[in-house]
Amino acid sequence: MSNNVLVVAFDGLDKELIEEFDLENIQQSEFGAIDNQTGMKHIYTSELFASFITGETHEEHGIEHLTTWEDESKGRIIETVAPKSIVESTRGFHRIRETLKTLLKTDEVKFSEEHLEEETLFEKIDNSRGMYIPGYNPSVFWQLKAETLPLEYGYGADVAEEFWDTREYEFRKKNLFSELENEIVSPRNFLMVHLHRTDFHQHLYGDPTAVMDKNKLKKLYQETDDLAGEILEKAEGKYDIVIFMSDHGLPAKKGHNENAFYSSNTELFPNNTPKLTDFHDKILELTRE
């Protein structure tokens, strides 16, 4: 008998803070760290999720970093004149890069399915769905970098937070709940959803370039745990196996930290720390048992 598997990815949810804030719903019966080192230079969301859903590293699946260029030839010109490594470490080069993007009429886009060079779990498992997965089918809102618009127009973090939550977060949550509450169609063999709220809020209030607001982080984590509880209730009797996970932890000076976590309502990797790429074969095994 095969299992119905649900994976909920809470982007940026930090394992150490999960434990510090004692999140009961997030910490299911098996709870531990994920080794998210896949040979990448920095910890980037698109590359990490591409590794999760293909079981391969960037050398095989072809997605490296977070974004690529709309026009590769024009992108090479920009990378030659204003390389990303210099832009990130040298003041003033960001404006040069942005000016070049305008002059050459090209922009950076986040990776999607068309950039993948390997098949994913969604092609290998019948009756599966990926919802807003970075590196596969990212949401339009995130793809267009709309979450930063309030900041670019001079609004503060509180306005940016509300802008994200009332639009993108509620949109993703509503569509996830529609899947879980559907009484007409049978549950999917494999369903995976990406929720980006924790990562975005942490960049607002926990970024190393700003003052970390621990009270806001605690509130954020408690709200995330409440959501996890709702998901578990709605998934009960429909999904045999529920996996919660994150791709990384809090923002760090060179991207994000390594504090990725996973939890499951059943035994997956007892007494071991799985690599991010290990989940691919495990999920295939679970859905084909």
Tens-place pLDDT, residues 179-219? 999 988 889 999 999 999 999 999 888 766 666 788 888 99
Identify the pLDDT of residue 149.
Answer: 86
Identify the pLDDT of residue 110.
Answer: 78
Locate 51 and state its tokens. Answer: 């590794």
At 132, which amino acid appears?
Answer: Y
Domain-embedded: residue 150 = yes
Contact residues for 129 (Cβ-Cβ < 8 A; gap 6+): 122, 179, 188, 190, 191, 192
Q: What is the percent of the chain with per-residue pLDDT over 90, rounded to a whole number?
A: 55
Residue 2, pLDDT > 90, answer no
Nearest to 53 by CA among 106, 17, 5: 5
Asked if residue 222 and residue 245 are part of one domain, the reply reads: yes
Confidence of residue 96 (pLDDT cuts 50, 70, 90): confident
Asked if residue 270 and residue 188 are part of one domain, the reply reads: yes
Asked if residue 146 and residue 20 are part of one domain, the reply reads: yes
How many domains are there within the chain?
2
Asked if residue 127 and residue 94 are part of one domain, the reply reads: no
Identify the pLDDT of residue 88.
Answer: 64
Domain-embedded: residue 53 = yes
Asked if residue 254 and residue 155 are part of one domain, the reply reads: yes
Identify the pLDDT of residue 273.
Answer: 95
Cα dihedral value 119, 124, 127, 131, nearest 10: -30
* Average pLDDT, integer, range 223-229: 98
Domain span at residue 87 reads 71-106
Asked if residue 255 and residue 130 are part of one domain, the reply reads: yes
Asked if residue 218 and residue 94 are part of one domain, the reply reads: no
Asked if residue 174 and residue 116 are part of one domain, the reply reads: yes
* Average pLDDT, integer, range 26-45: 88
Residue 64, pLDDT > 90, answer no
Domain-embedded: residue 66 = no
Nearest to 201 by CA among 190, 187, 188, 215: 215
* Average pLDDT, integer, range 66-88: 73
Identify the pLDDT of residue 93.
Answer: 67
Which residue(s) pair with 10 in the sheet? 195
Asked if residue 171 and residue 94 are part of one domain, the reply reads: no
Report whether 241 contacts 7 (CB < 8 A).
no
Q: Beta strand pairing status for 261-264 and 67-69?
A: unpaired
Contact residues for 226 (Cβ-Cβ < 8 A; gap 6+): 25
Tell me the CATH number at 219: 3.40.720.10
